[in-house]
C-alpha cells in the first residue's frame, strides 16, 4: 500500500514509525489538561487520541472559565466520537484539586488574566518608545505576563508535588524561559518547556532552500525563540551560502522572513522564531520607526502592536470555531500534528527513544551560556524520562545574544518567585530592546505604571 493511501489509525501508526517510535501504548493513562480553553487544546487532544495503542484512559480538563471549559469538554467528546474511542472518558472541572490525583501527565496551557492586560502590556511601553509585535515572552509584555503567570504556576506545581509527584508537566504556556526557570528554582516538579518553533523553522528552511525536508541535516541549540541552526547541510553541502545567494537575488524571498534573513546576513546563522517575535529579542530592529518600516512586515513579520490588536478577536474566534466543530458545521481535522506532547507520552509509555527539543536547565549542556539558567536543546525521551543532550559551545556572537536575554530571565524569575517590584524593574532594565530605547528612569516609571494598571492580577507584589 502506498503511503498516500494509508488512512486513519494506520496513518498515525506510519507517522509514529517514521519518527522512530515502534511500539504501542498498552495501559490506561491519565492526562490533566490545565487551561483547556487554550487554542492548543484541539490539536493536543487529537494528538493524544492518535497515539497508537492508547485505547483507554482519562483526559481531565481544567479551566477557570466555566463556559470555555464546557466548550472544550463537548469538543473532546466530539473528537472521541469521531475517532470511535469508547475507552476514553473526558472529565471537566474548574477545580484542579479534583483531578490531579493519580495523573500521569499534565499539559499546561494556562492563561492568567485572559485579555484584560494585553493593552496595558502593549500601550504603556509604547508611550516610552518600546514597540512590540507579540510581547508575550520578552520585553515589558513578556515580563508582566510572567509576573502574572509564574506565581499561579508555582501554586499549581505545589499541588502536583503533593498529589501526583511522578507526573511530567508538559508546559506550553509563555513566557517559556521564565516559566521554566522559575519552576526549576522553586519546585521539585518535573517540567519540560515545549514549543513548535524548532520543528516549524526546520521545515521552513528546507522550503527556502528548495530541498526535501528528509534530506536536510541540521543541528540546533540556544534558548527558546532564540535557538540557532548552527549546522544546515544537504548531501554534505553547507546550505547557508545557498540561502544568502537566494535572498540577495530574490527580494520576495527576503520579504517572507525579513528580520531573520537580515540578521543571518551578518550573524551567519538562522534562528528559530518568526521575524516579528524574533525582532523583540534584539536591540537592533525596533528602536526607531524607520527601522521598523525598513525591516518589519505585516502580522507575524513584525507589525507593531499585532498581538495586542488581534488576540482578543482570536480568542473569540477560537470559541466560535469550537462551536462549529461541535455542531458539525465545520469538519474536525483529526490528524496527528508535530506538537511534541503526544510523542513524549508515547515514548515514555513504550520506552522507545525519541528526540525532541525542549527548554531545560543548563547543566553544562551549552558550555558558553549561563549555567543553571535554561536553554533549548535536543533531548532524548524514553521510559526513564527526558534527558537533555550535550551540545557544547555556540559560536560566541550567537551565545552573546542568547546570554543578554538570559540575564533578563534570571532577574525576572526571581522577581516572580519573590514578588518583587524592584527586581521586576531591574529585569526590564536588562531587556535588550527596552534598554536600547529607554533610560533607567523611564524604565522605572514604566514598570510602576504597569504595576498600577495590572494590580488586580499581581497580588502580593511589594
Q: Which residue has the cell 539558567?
A: 373
Distance CA 79, CA 76 (A): 5
Backbone angles phi, psi at 117, to 5 degrees: -110, 0
| Torsion, Cα of 302, 423, 359, 12 (10° steps) | -60
Distance CA 44, CA 152 (A): 22
Where b means 16+ CB within 10 Å and e means fewer, 172-194 reads bbbbbbbbbbbbbebbebbbbbb
Distance CA 359, CA 177 (A): 7
Do 362 and 390 form a contact (C-beta atoms < 8 A)? no
Q: Are strands 226-234 and 237-238 parallel, antiparallel or unpaired?
A: antiparallel
Distance CA 289, CA 282 (A): 15
Distance CA 447, CA 139 (A): 11
How far are the Cα atoms of 207, 237, 245, 436 from residue 254, in angstroms, in the given order?
13, 22, 11, 25
Distance CA 185, CA 183 (A): 5
Number of H helices, E strands in the chain: 18, 13
Q: Does the annotation count 196 as an active-site position?
A: yes
Q: Which position among 9, 196, 225, 418 bears the catalytic label? A: 196
Do 90 and 61 form a contact (C-beta atoms < 8 A)? yes
User: Looking at the annotation, which residues are catalytic?
Assistant: 196
Amino acid at each position: 500500500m502506498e503511503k498516500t493511501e494509508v488512512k486513519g489509525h494506520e496513518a498515525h501508526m506510519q507517522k509514529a514509525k517514521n519518527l522512530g517510535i515502534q511500539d504501542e501504548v498498552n495501559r490506561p493513562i491519565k492526562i490533566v489538561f490545565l487551561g483547556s480553553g487554550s487554542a492548543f487544546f484541539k490539536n493536543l487532544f487529537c494528538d493524544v487520541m492518535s497515539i497508537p495503542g492508547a485505547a483507554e484512559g482519562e483526559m481531565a480538563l481544567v479551566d477557570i472559565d466555566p463556559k470555555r471549559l464546557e466548550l472544550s469538554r463537548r469538543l473532546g467528546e466530539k473528537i472521541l466520537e469521531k475517532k470511535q474511542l469508547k475507552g476514553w472518558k473526558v472529565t471537566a472541572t474548574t477545580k484542579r484539586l479534583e483531578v490531579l490525583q493519580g495523573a500521569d501527565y499534565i499539559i499546561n496551557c494556562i492563561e492568567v488574566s485572559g485579555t484584560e492586560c494585553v493593552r496595558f502590556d502593549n500601550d504603556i511601553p509604547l508611550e516610552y518608545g518600546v514597540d512590540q509585535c507579540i510581547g508575550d515572552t520578552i520585553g515589558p509584555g513578556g515580563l508582566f505576563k510572567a509576573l502574572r503567570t509564574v506565581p499561579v504556576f508555582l501554586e499549581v506545581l505545589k499541588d502536583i508535588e503533593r498529589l501526583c509527584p511522578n507526573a511530567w508537566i508538559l508546559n506550553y504556556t509563555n513566557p517559556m524561559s521564565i516559566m521554566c526557570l522559575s519552576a526549576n528554582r522553586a519546585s521539585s516538579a518535573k517540567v519540560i518547556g515545549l514549543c513548535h518553533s524548532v520543528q516549524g523553522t526546520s521545515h521552513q528552511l528546507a522550503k527556502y532552500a528548495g530541498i526535501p525536508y528528509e534530506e536536510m541535516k541540521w543541528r540546533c541549540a540556544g534558548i527558546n525563540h532564540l535557538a540557532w541552526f548552527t549546522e544546515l547541510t544537504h548531501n554534505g553541502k553547507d546550505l547557508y551560502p545557498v540561502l544568502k545567494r537566494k535572498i540577495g537575488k530574490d527580494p520576495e524571498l527576503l520579504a517572507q522572513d525579513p528580520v531573520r534573513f537580515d540578521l543571518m546576513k551578518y550573524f551567519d546563522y538562522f534562528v528559530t522564531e518568526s521575524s516579528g517575535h524574533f525582532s523583540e529579542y534584539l536591540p537592533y530592529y525596533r528602536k526607531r520607526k524607520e527601522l521598523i518600516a525598513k525591516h518589519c512586515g505585516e502580522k507575524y513579520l513584525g507589525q507593531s502592536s499585532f498581538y495586542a490588536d488581534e488576540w482578543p478577536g482570536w480568542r473569540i474566534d477560537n470559541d466560535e470555531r469550537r462551536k462549529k466543530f461541535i455542531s458539525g458545521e465545520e469538519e474536525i481535522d483529526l490528524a496527528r500534528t508535530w506538537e511534541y506532547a503526544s510523542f513524549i507520552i508515547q515514548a515514555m509509555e513504550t520506552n522507545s527513544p525519541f528526540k525532541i527539543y525542549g527548554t531545560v536547565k543548563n547543566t553544562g549542556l551549552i558550555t558558553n551560556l549561563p549555567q543553571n539558567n535554561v536553554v533549548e536543546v535536543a533531548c532524548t525521551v524514553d521510559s526513564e524520562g527526558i534527558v537533555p543532550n550535550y551540545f557544547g559551545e555556540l559560536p560566541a556572537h550567537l551565545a552573546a545574544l542568547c546570554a543578554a536575554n538570559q540575564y533578563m530571565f534570571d532577574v525576572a524569575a526571581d522577581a516572580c518567585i519573590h514578588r518583587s517590584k524592584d527586581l521586576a524593574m531591574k529585569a526590564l532594565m536588562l531587556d535588550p530592546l527596552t534598554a536600547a530605547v529607554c533610560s533607567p528612569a523611564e524604565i522605572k516609571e514604566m514598570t510602576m505604571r504597569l504595576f498600577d494598571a495590572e494590580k488586580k492580577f499581581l497580588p502580593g507584589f511589594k
